[in-house]
Amino acid sequence: MSSSIATLIIFFIILSNFSLQVVSAGEDCGADENDGCTDKKKALPLKIIAIVTILISSMIGVCLPLVSQSIPALSPERSLFVIVKAFAAGIILATGFMHVLPDSFDMLSSTCLKENPWHKFPFTGFVAMLSAIVTLIIDSMATSVYSKKHSSGAVKPESGGELEELPVVVQAGGGHSHGHGHHHGGKLAVEGAQLLRYRVIAMVLELGIIVHSIVIGLSLGASNNTCSIKGLIAALCFHQMFEGMGLGGCILQAEYKFIKKAAMAFFFSVTTPFGIALGLALSSTYKENSPRSLITVGLLNASSAGLLIYMALVDLLAADFMGPKLQGSIKLQIKSYIAVLLGAGGMSLMAKWA
């Protein structure tokens, strides 16, 4: 098993075990059981519907870019792919700013928490800032580690391609390539470095999405409020589909082998349904308004928001908009800007229901 898949499995298990600690929370605070919407029996079929529909939406979203190789118009080299990826990046950016971050603010400023220290210091902004910095560190160090690991040759597409047949040896004196000429070797080295960045971006984005997917699934699964669950199902289906398209685009550009692509798509697709099932199984003990739950989920949301905002702005939007393809076409830039605004706007509108 590859190290990247093993990392995903270990991270998934650790996060699941950490989520289980939340359910041992103490007494509930400020819960309104007589609001006319709280009905455990009616909520159960809605949660089952949520598991199925969100799973299907997630699979469609993340797999659509991966099967687009057979559709010439949606290949990574075409402009349409760039526009769709910009739209998905807008979805991820709005998820961080309009959904995850406000939820964290609400939780960590709840009246159920003690005045000191939770009402004396803006923990949400602080943790989100630290999360963005830590993501930068991981992003930078992972790139450095993989660069040194592949310093003796070009990074090879695991799915096949010209880089696999044309290795490049980079020497201190001046980028010599064996038997293919300096110009061709330099081009391959640049392509190899870009491919390496795509792989780091795909892995870091996947880990960040897993965090907040488990959290939102746990919250939905533990809730018995039928009024809020109905709106959440539609919003999360929309959210997972287009967030999956953004992740799927990154996985496609990383040019992994089929098994790695399938594993990353699988983990993305099942995390939210798994969170819902976990919350459903533990709904009798999980108290979403208990101090421990508010603090744990609030801090997780803040850290997830920082990561998603960093990834959307730096590794997705800035990387593409400052890249040669978009810089070479003002028309394509304008189309991509519109796509970003539509994606962010649509996801922001979803904040009304979720």
Find out whether 215 and 103 touch, Cβ atoms under 8 Å: no
Lowest mean pLDDT among 11-15, 19-23, 144-148: 19-23
Find out whether 37 and 223 touch, Cβ atoms under 8 Å: no
Find out whether 237 and 53 touch, Cβ atoms under 8 Å: yes
The pLDDT, as a whole number, for residue 101 is: 92
Select, from the ranges 159-163, 178-182, 213-217, the one with the highest average predicted confidence (pLDDT): 213-217
Residue 13 pLDDT greater than 60, yes or no: no
Lowest mean pLDDT among 12-16, 66-70, 135-139, 343-347: 12-16
Overall average pLDDT of the 42-46 stretch = 88
Overall average pLDDT of the 98-119 stretch = 90
Nearest to 130 by CA among 3, 353, 336, 310: 310
Q: Length of the chain in residues, anyone?
A: 354
The pLDDT, as a whole number, for residue 292 is: 85
Find out whether 275 and 217 touch, Cβ atoms under 8 Å: yes
Give 153 or 246, the one with higher predicted confidence: 246
Q: How far is CA 297 from CA 80, 185, 197, 212, 229, in A?
A: 37, 49, 31, 9, 18
- Neighbour-count burial for 42-74, b at 16+ CB within 10 Å, e otherwise: ebeebbeebbebbbebbbbbbbbbbebeeeeeb
Measured between alpha carbons, how far is 169 from 181 in angstroms, rounded to an integer? 12
Find out whether 211 and 304 touch, Cβ atoms under 8 Å: yes
The pLDDT, as a whole number, for residue 55 is: 95
273 φψ region: left (φ > 0), alpha (ψ -120 to 50), beta (else): alpha
The pLDDT, as a whole number, for residue 120 is: 92
Is the alpha carbon torsion for 9, 10, 13, 14 positive or negative?
Answer: negative
The upper half-sphere exposure of residue 58, i.e. CA atoms within 13 Å in the direction of its Cβ, equals: 24
Measured between alpha carbons, how far is 166 from 164 in angstroms, rounded to an integer? 6
Residue 105 pLDDT greater than 90, yes or no: yes
The upper half-sphere exposure of residue 331, i.e. CA atoms within 13 Å in the direction of its Cβ, equals: 2
pLDDT confidence band for 214 (50 / 70 / 90): confident
Please give the sequence-ordered ranges of beta strands (E in DSSP) within 217-312, or none if there are none: none
Nearest to 12 by CA among 318, 349, 336, 266: 266
Query: Per residue in 188-212, pLDDT tens?
Result: 555 677 788 888 888 888 888 888 7
The pLDDT, as a whole number, for residue 21 is: 54
Give 261 or 151, the one with higher predicted confidence: 261
Query: Per residue in 132-152, pLDDT tens?
Result: 999 899 888 888 887 777 665
